Amino acid sequence: MGATDSKAYYVDTVGYKTHLQEMGQGPALLLLHGSGPGVTAAANWQGVAPSLAQHFRVLMPDLMGFGQTQEPASTTYRFMDSWVAQIGALLDALGLKSVCIVGNSFGGAVALALASQRPDLVSKLVLMGAVGIKFKITEALDTIWGYKPSVQAMRQLLDLMSYDRSRISDQLAEQRYQASLAAGVQSRYERLFPEPRQHCLDQIAQPPENLKALRQPTLLIHGEDDRVIPLEVSRELHRLIPNSELQVLAHCGHWTQIEQANRFIDLVLRFAAEPPTTQVKTVPNNI
């Protein structure tokens, strides 16, 4: 399979089938998407996956509760054990011993939980606008998790995600709205993030002692103008995770991989390719 070729298939994981899209060859790079309504791995990563696939075997699963992954309708989501079990089973099924994981927002929380519970499976971490500690839920995140399908509501959510709102077209809002109407999508979404949503956010957080115990090299990327997950969250993760680096992207909201795609790709390629180091604490001057 060439770098620009893509294939999608299902992998048996923990009694159900995980939908996986794959692109490229080389060392494995696992991309975990965020938690917006109607999101899929393909939609989350389509702008950057081809460039990353020039150097890596890029793996993009639909997490439980999202996309085309086929868990039973009666599934109860256990934060964060359900997703740790899913990704652990996926990597085991693919015969992968240890991978670099890129986690976007909610996907970052999954990556942190996996690194804590199954450190043998995680060689490096890239966390972008990630949740992972306790903080007061933002109005933007509460609005996103409380989404009720309409084109207007989807347009509002997309505006909240971005710094440059001119990038959000009516066509994009319509496409994302239609994705949120797919069979079972909204019912799963509402079961994932019921009120009070602060409780959902608290369940996602890792205890500080778990973060301090992480030994994987970790790159934190955060948009300076993120209204969904405050920049202070990544600053605190950087303080707690021993072997971490923080990069703050100016003129960027929650969509770092979309609004600053070239910078994001450069950062990930540099970080994923370099030899592991220890006790790195790097903060750019623009914080």
Parse the chain into domains and list their residue ranges: 6-136+195-282
Q: State the chain's mean pLDDT as an integer.
A: 93
Count the Cβ atoms, other than its own, within 10 Å of residue 278.
8
And the tokens for 122?
């995680």
Among 226, 234, 238, 244, which one carries the catalytic annotation?
Answer: 226
At the topology level, CATH places domain 6-136+195-282 in Rossmann fold (3.40.50)
In whole angstroms, what is the distance from residue 119 CA to residue 92 CA? 13
Among 105, 123, 162, 180, which one carries the catalytic annotation?
Answer: 105
Q: pLDDT band at residue 2, thresholds of 50, 70 and 90?
A: low
Only one residue has tokens 């703050």, namely 248
pLDDT per residue as tens digits for the range 234-284: 999 999 999 999 999 999 999 999 999 999 999 999 999 987 655 555 555
Write phi, then psi, for 82 (nearest 5 degrees): -60, -45
pLDDT at 279: 52
pLDDT per residue as tens digits for the range 66-89: 999 999 888 889 999 999 999 999
**Which conformational region is residue 251 in: left (phi greater than 0), alpha (psi within -120 to 50 degrees), or beta?**
left
The 3-state DSSP class for residue 178 equals helix
**Which of 144, 109, 98 lies closest to 32 in space, CA to CA?**
109
Q: How far apart are the first and last CA of the chain?
A: 41
pLDDT at 35: 96
Query: Catalytic residue at 226?
Result: yes
pLDDT at 166: 83
* Signed CA dihedral, 52, 54, 56, 61: sign only: positive
pLDDT at 285: 41
Query: Catalytic residue at 105?
Result: yes
Q: pLDDT band at residue 3, thresholds of 50, 70 and 90?
A: low
pLDDT at 282: 54
Buried b (16+ CB within 10 A) or exposed e, 173-187: beebbebbeeeebbe
pLDDT at 172: 85
Beta strands in 4-51 (DSSP E): 6-13, 16-23, 28-32
pLDDT per residue as tens digits for the range 101-127: 999 999 999 999 999 999 999 999 999
Q: Counting beta carbons within 10 angstroms of the beta carbon of residue 264, is it exposed (0 to 12), middle (13 to 18) or buried (19 or more)?
A: buried
Query: Catalytic residue at 55?
Result: no
Range of weakest confidence among 123-137, 145-159, 162-176, 179-193 = 162-176
And the tokens for 164?
């440059």
In whole angstroms, what is the distance from residue 217 CA to residue 275 CA? 10
